[in-house]
Chain A
Amino acid sequence: MKNRTIFAIAFILLGLFVILAPSVLFPICESEKKMACFYTKQAEIGLGVFISALGVVYFFLKNKNIRLGIAIAEFFISGLVLAYPLKLTGLCKMSDMACRVKTLPALIVVSILLILVSLVDIFFLAKSEQSE
């Protein structure tokens, strides 16, 4: 399997995980009142769609420079995946709430994986650019 296909699939799957983590797999706190974690969920769903969409575009592109750009974008988006629950919109303050016990760890794991995948992709693409 080509590197392009592998990384495209990885980006699409990680994007899907960002969508599903706060909504289905590790859902945020159930409450009628809209708490901070509700807005974090909305933001993460948006980011997840964006990550997957970039993965789809990545799959169809043959130009290595554009793919390098997409990999760099994915790297910075992974920072946003973490920044939303930790700083920008935040989570519930109590540490025993579902959003802190389940959702935050899941988002930490997925963002670290996205950082690693995008860094490896950047390394391979930059290396092949140099050798050409």
Chain B
Amino acid sequence: MKPRRRNNLFKDIRRHAFYNACLLATIILLSIMLLAGTIVSTSLRTGMGNMQKRLGADIMLVPKGSKEKAENMLLEGSRSAFYFDASVYEQVSGIEGISEVTSQCFLKSLAADCCSSEVQIVFFDPVSDFVVAPWIETEYKTGLSGDSVIVGSDIASEDGTIKLFGQEYPVVSKMARTGTALDSSVYFSTDAKEELLKNAEEKGSFLTEDQKKSGILSSIFINVKGDHLVDGVIEAAHKSIGDIFDVVYPKKLHESLAGSLLKITGVINIVSISLGAFLVAILLIINSIIMRSRKQEVALLRVLGHTKKRLIGKLITEMGVISLCGAVLGCGLGALIVIPFGRLIGNSLNMPYLGPSAGNTLFQILFIILGVFLIVFLSSIFFIIHATNIEPYLALRREE
């Protein structure tokens, strides 16, 4: 655009400052709402997808009375501790119809040197494991032994080591982000349990009587063979080890959470659509007022020799500049609210929340800018064409 024409364009925008400011404010609000809604919905869906992957076992056996704690741990990643006698694992492994079985042991909230708060320590068996492995971002080549750890994505490790109870442990791998408190867990091989508990006790950490016992585990994860029924395996487990356990169905838990997610995204969509419709109505009203107030100007320009095509182009360019500024400002403000406060939003909704990557966010922003541009164009084009179609004589006479 030539500098003189550009100056005229900004002068024209400034000449109708009040209406254009209203238009800009509406566009900013529309962009903020669209971006915030899109990012929150996407993040909730990504978090849910990740959770589905994490709930990778058909059934989970936990000590009698610990079902609720275990469900909270799976869904919200809250820290818990409950214990079986380790001999239960051997008995369960022998049950017919089981394709995969592994055990884990949790230590609840032990204050550690690595972190300013408490961490959940999880002991698992790397040989039989099928629950932790899908979350490991990079394959650990050296193997997990008693003196090395895998850490959740939020655990800060300096120089590839973390310090727990006075002892330094090399970090062999880091887990992918889950969007829950499990990201702040430290994963040890079962072999390391004795030494870690000893160190924790020496450093003054409080251990319960159960935790001091050597042969303990917290949960048994089971995948059932395709040709066997889950209920049959549970019945066999009852016969084999007695009525000492509760059963958690991780995949069913996911279904209930997916229901909550649908409700939340439904509310977000309804609010977005109603507010969006309201803002589009305001845009239509403002555009009609602007074009009505500019009829005389348009008529004069036509008398002075401007063609209809040129006038339409000029008015659309003005709308385009305003909508582009509004959309960019709105997306900037929306991103400034939603991206940094993502974790707080996830915590408030009590749902797994995993923000989109930078590339994905940029794509969404570009998509919304384009969408807003289109909405403004469609809401103004009718009024622009109408204003340019009126005979100059009639338009000027009406203004008399």
Which residues of A are at the interface with B, using a C-beta cutoff of 8 A?
A: 29, 35-37, 92-97, 100-102, 104-106, 108-109, 112-113
Q: Check if A95 sits within 8 Å of B340, measured CB to CB.
A: no
Which residues of B are at the interface with A, using a C-beta cutoff of 8 A?
A: 114-117, 119, 154-156, 181, 183-184, 336-337, 340-341, 343-344, 347
Chain B residues near A109 (CB, 8 Å)? Answer: 336-337, 340
Q: Check if A96 sits within 8 Å of B154, measured CB to CB.
A: yes
- Distance of B183 from chain A, by nearest CB (Å): 7
Q: Check if A97 sits within 8 Å of B116, measured CB to CB.
A: yes
CA distance A111 to B114 in the complex (A): 29
- Distance of A105 from chain B, by nearest CB (Å): 3
- Contact residue among B114, B115, B337, B347 (Cβ-Cβ distance under 8 Å from A101): B347
Give how many A-B residue pairs fall within 8 Å (CB-CB): 49
A33 — nearest CB in chain B belongs to which residue? B116
CA distance A101 to B344 in the complex (A): 6
Q: Check if A92 sits within 8 Å of B336, measured CB to CB.
A: no
B346 — nearest CB in chain A belongs to which residue? A101
Query: Would you call the interface of chain A mostly helix, strand, loop, or mixed?
Result: helix
Chain A residues near B154 (CB, 8 Å)? Answer: 94-96
A101 with B343, Cβ < 8 A, contacts A93-B156, A95-B154, A109-B336 known: yes
- Contact residue among B117, B337, B347 (Cβ-Cβ distance under 8 Å from A94): B117
CA distance A104 to B344 in the complex (A): 11
Chain B residues near A108 (CB, 8 Å)? Answer: 340
Q: Check if B117 sits within 8 Å of A92, measured CB to CB.
A: yes
A26 — nearest CB in chain B belongs to which residue? B344
A31 — nearest CB in chain B belongs to which residue? B116
A35 with B184, Cβ < 8 A, contacts A105-B341, A108-B340 known: no
Chain A residues near B119 (CB, 8 Å)? Answer: 94
Chain B residues near A102 (CB, 8 Å)? Answer: 344
CA distance A70 to B69 in the complex (A): 56
Q: Check if B184 sits within 8 Å of A96, measured CB to CB.
A: yes
CA distance A112 to B183 in the complex (A): 28
Q: Check if A97 sits within 8 Å of B117, measured CB to CB.
A: yes
- Distance of A124 from chain B, by nearest CB (Å): 15
- Distance of A19 from chain B, by nearest CB (Å): 19
Chain A residues near B115 (CB, 8 Å)? Answer: 92-94
Across the A-B interface, give the 7 residue pairs with the lowest CB-CB distance, nearest first.
Answer: A105-B340, A92-B116, A95-B154, A93-B156, A94-B117, A105-B341, A108-B340
- Distance of B387 from chain A, by nearest CB (Å): 33
- Distance of B169 from chain A, by nearest CB (Å): 15
Chain B residues near A93 (CB, 8 Å)? Answer: 114-116, 155-156
A104 with B340, Cβ < 8 A, contacts A94-B119, A96-B154 known: yes
CA distance A37 to B116 in the complex (A): 10
- Distance of B244 from chain A, by nearest CB (Å): 33
Chain A residues near B184 (CB, 8 Å)? Answer: 94-96
CA distance A105 to B115 in the complex (A): 20
Chain B residues near A36 (CB, 8 Å)? Answer: 116
Most buried by B among A35, A94, A97, A102: A94
CA distance A19 to B181 in the complex (A): 30
A99 — nearest CB in chain B belongs to which residue? B116
Chain A residues near B114 (CB, 8 Å)? Answer: 93
CA distance A37 to B117 in the complex (A): 12
B339 — nearest CB in chain A belongs to which residue? A105
